[in-house]
């Protein structure tokens, strides 16, 4: 009976992994590019330097659209110029070059559609599932590998970042691959049974460790924390050969020196580290640090992308419950004398999170929960691994029910996320434009943020005569009045997009909205109004459509 039960669970785990793959494939184009994704596209084209913040005169929207495709290249020298501009555009960004380099070449192969841009991230996430299986099987056997893969694949937070044109999905891949490589290498060095035939395997895993660690560092600077994690792992598992592993990790750093010398130095000069600074007292700071720690756990292991709309106290509550659950798992494994697996799991998960928390406290910064915890996404695999180790090794009575319950929980969260939440805000604006595609149209918006401007440029038809006037809320009405008075017959239609979160300015007050309405009512009639609601405040707009008086 136990064999049948185990066989069924393995089949369910394989089905869950298949669901994780299918969810990624069918959702490649199911959501619009969100705020930072369109910046990734701009950087990948090598045209960021050509982007200019909207001024106080309308600009043809198609001028921005051209920045989201590769420039025309008629010769190899043109390709080199584009690549040079691509590198120069990165030095003002806070992230290393590798992710954007991958996107740049992927863009050359497949174009700039949603599905094309996201497909490379999905490939990295599928690679992460393969690494999760290898790491899980190494530590826990066949079923442990399947369970680790299934939970990572269906984890709502990782699924979101598997479809996000940013570096976080590939970062998880490099974390898993480097961790797996190190553990395999340690196993080969310490196992008597592999003494005679392990040289080729050692070479393979050594090269893989060096390259994956270098790639992780060149994908996200916070990967540096894993060099400390790996050092502790080595001291715990293979202290006698510590110098060998030190040479491997130093080699991975040496590989990155050209970028560290040229790019990172310039990035540090451009860095805005003050935005993470503590502006309160000691007690309030410690409370916020604790809350961020709990929020990360809640978002990573349970809430996922729903964190963008849930109240903070709910996220913190979930985080507290997750933390208590992980403490219970750790205590149960300790009681069952599964010390080695417990320490490995803690070193790959909670340990780097605590290191980041300690650095935040010492430096007076608040980076842990930045961007809904994406800056520390590298702790997610280790935290999930701890949960898998507990299920497999703690001897719980309802093991199979626990596995099934976790899979159904994650699957339900994902189905609700992708099935119930709107992600087509700018498509709705495009639909209005396409009703009268030849009508000269002015879009006015109380946000000059590149994420809003470029998404309009990406989704609105380039064949329609569309101009954009983007100003801060307090300046929109006078600038609009000035431009309309110069040429009152130029625009037959005006679309007024009022952002709930303009990013670079404050939301419109009722007085400011009334001032814009007064300007428009002079020569235009209000035809329709609707709210554009996305998954968070950056996607929320009030859209009003005005047409010229006849």
CA distance 532 to 425: 5
DSSP-derived 3-state class of residue 544: strand
- Is the pLDDT at 23 greater than 70? The verdict is yes
**pLDDT tens digits along 44-58:** 999 999 999 999 999
Give yes or no: residues 485 and 540 share one domain: yes
CB 92 within 8 A of CB 11: no
Give yes or no: residues 443 and 368 share one domain: no
Give yes or no: residues 439 and 534 share one domain: yes
Q: What is the mean pLDDT of residues 443-471?
A: 96
φ, ψ of residue 277 to 5 degrees: the values are -75, 155
Q: What is the mean pLDDT of residues 13-27?
A: 97
Q: Which two tokens stand for residue 108?
A: 């050359």
* 437 part of a folded domain: yes
Q: What is the mean pLDDT of residues 115-138?
A: 97
* 42 part of a folded domain: no
* 236 part of a folded domain: no
Give yes or no: residues 287 and 383 share one domain: yes
Helices (H), ranges, 155-273: 156-162, 168-190, 199-217, 224-237, 242-255, 257-259, 265-270
Helical axes 2-26 vs 114-154, angle rounded to 10°: 160
* 389 part of a folded domain: yes
- 106: part of which helix (H) or strand (E)? helix 98-110
Of 287, 246, 16, the C-alpha closest to 148 is 16
Give yes or no: residues 477 and 437 share one domain: yes
Count: domains in the chain: 2
* 244 part of a folded domain: no
* 420 part of a folded domain: no
- Is the pLDDT at 28 greater than 60? The verdict is yes
Give yes or no: residues 434 and 514 share one domain: yes
Q: Give the domain CATH number at 542.
A: 3.40.190
What is the structure's pLDDT at 276? 62
What is the structure's pLDDT at 1? 39
Give yes or no: residues 459 and 345 share one domain: no
CA distance 71 to 57: 25
pLDDT band at 2 (very low <50, low <70, confident <90, very high): very low
Q: Which of 345, 375, 396 is the last residue of a domain?
A: 396
φ, ψ of residue 466 to 5 degrees: the values are -120, 130
- Is the pLDDT at 266 greater than 90? The verdict is no
Q: What is the mean pLDDT of residues 197-216?
A: 92
270 against 352, higher pLDDT:
352
Give yes or no: residues 288 and 356 share one domain: yes
The sign one gets for the Cα dihedral 354, 359, 361, 367 is negative
**pLDDT tens digits along 357-378:** 999 999 888 999 889 999 999 9
* 367 part of a folded domain: yes
**pLDDT tens digits along 301-340:** 999 999 999 999 999 999 999 999 999 999 999 999 999 9
Give yes or no: residues 367 and 441 share one domain: no
What is the structure's pLDDT at 265? 83
What 314-317 contacts at long range (C-beta under 8 Å, 24+ apart), as own/partner pairs, is: 316/291
Over the chain, what is the mean pLDDT? Answer: 93
- Is the pLDDT at 402 greater than 60? The verdict is yes
Q: Which of 358, 381, 396 is the last residue of a domain?
A: 396
pLDDT band at 488 (very low <50, low <70, confident <90, very high): confident
pLDDT band at 264 (very low <50, low <70, confident <90, very high): confident
Domain limits for position 330? 279-396
DSSP-derived 3-state class of residue 170: helix
**pLDDT tens digits along 163-199:** 999 999 999 999 999 999 999 999 999 876 655 557 8
Give yes or no: residues 330 and 386 share one domain: yes
What is the structure's pLDDT at 314? 96
* 390 part of a folded domain: yes
Helices vs. strands in the chain: H and E counts, helices first: 24, 6
345 against 194, higher pLDDT:
345
Give yes or no: residues 540 and 430 share one domain: yes
């Amino acid at each position: 009976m136990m064999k049948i039960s185990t066989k069924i669970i393995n089949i369910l785990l394989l089905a869950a992994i298949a669901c994780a793959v299918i969810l990624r494939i069918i959702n490649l184009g199911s959501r619009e590019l969100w705020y930072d994704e369109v910046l990734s596209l701009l950087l990948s084209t090598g045209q960021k330097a050509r982007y200019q913040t909207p001024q106080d005169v309308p600009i043809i929207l198609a001028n921005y659209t051209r920045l989201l495709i590769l420039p025309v290249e008629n010769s190899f020298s043109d390709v080199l110029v584009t690549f040079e501009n691509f590198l120069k555009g990165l030095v003002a960004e806070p992230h290393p070059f590798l992710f954007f380099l991958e996107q740049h070449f992927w863009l050359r192969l497949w174009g700039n559609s949603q599905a094309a841009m996201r497909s490379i991230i999905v490939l990295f996430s599928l690679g992460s599932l393969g690494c999760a299986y290898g790491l899980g099987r190494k530590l826990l056997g066949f079923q442990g590998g399947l369970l680790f893969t299934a939970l990572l694949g269906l984890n709502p937070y990782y699924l979101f970042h598997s479809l996000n044109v940013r570096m976080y999905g590939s970062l998880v891949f490099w974390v898993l691959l480097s961790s797996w490589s190190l553990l395999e290498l340690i196993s080969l060095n310490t196992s008597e049974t592999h003494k005679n035939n392990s040289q080729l395997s050692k070479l393979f895993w050594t090269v893989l460790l060096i390259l994956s660690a270098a790639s992780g560092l060149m994908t996200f600077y916070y990967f540096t924390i894993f060099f400390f994690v790996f050092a502790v792992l080595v001291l715990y598992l293979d202290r006698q050969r510590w110098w060998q592993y030190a040479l491997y990790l130093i080699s991975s750093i040496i590989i990155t020196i050209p970028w560290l010398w040229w790019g990172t130095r310039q990035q540090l000069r451009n860095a805005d580290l003050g935005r993470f600074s503590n502006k309160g007292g000691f007690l309030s700071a410690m409370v916020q640090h604790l809350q961020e720690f709990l929020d990360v756990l809640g978002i990573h292991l349970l809430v996922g992308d729903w964190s963008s709309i849930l109240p903070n106290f709910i996220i913190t509550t979930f985080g507290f419950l997750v933390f208590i659950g992980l403490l219970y798992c750790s205590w149960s494994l300790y009681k069952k004398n599964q010390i080695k697996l417990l320490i490995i799991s803690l070193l790959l998960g909670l340990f780097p999170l605590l290191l980041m928390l300690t650095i935040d406290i010492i430096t007076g910064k608040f980076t842990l929960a930045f961007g809904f915890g994406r800056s520390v996404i590298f702790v997610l695999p280790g935290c999930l691994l701890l949960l898998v180790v507990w299920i497999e090794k703690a001897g719980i009575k309802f093991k199979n029910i626990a596995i099934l319950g976790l899979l159904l929980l994650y699957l339900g969260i994902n189905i609700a996320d992708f099935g119930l939440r709107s992600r087509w805000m700018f498509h709705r604006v495009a639909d209005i434009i396409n009703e009268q595609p030849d009508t000269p149209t002015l879009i006015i918006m109380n946000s000059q943020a590149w994420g809003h401007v470029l998404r309009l440029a990406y989704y609105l038809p380039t064949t329609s005569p569309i101009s954009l006037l983007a100003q801060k809320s307090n300046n929109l009405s006078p600038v609009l009045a000035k431009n309309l008075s110069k040429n009152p017959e130029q625009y037959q239609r005006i679309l007024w997009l009022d952002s709930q979160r303009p990013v670079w300015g404050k939301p419109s007050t009722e007085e400011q909205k009334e001032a814009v309405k007064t300007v428009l009512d002079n020569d235009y009639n209000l035809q329709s109004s609707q709210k554009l609601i996305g998954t968070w405040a950056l996607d929320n707009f009030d859209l009003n459509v005005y047409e010229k008086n006849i």
